[in-house]
Chains A and B, each alone.
Chain A
Amino acid sequence: GEDVEQSLFLSVREGDSSVINCTYTDSSSTYLYWYKQEPGAGLQLLTYIFSNMDMKQDQRLTVLLNKKDKHLSLRIADTQTGDSAIYFCAERGNTGTASKLTFGTGTRLQVTL
Chain B
Amino acid sequence: KQEVTQIPAALSVPEGENLVLNCSFTDSAIYNLQWFRQDPGKGLTSLLLIQSSQREQTSGRLNASLDKSSGRSTLYIAASQPGDSATYLCAVTIGSYIPTFGRGTSLIVHP
Pair from one complex: no
B-binding residues in A (CB < 8 A): none
A-binding residues in B (CB < 8 A): none
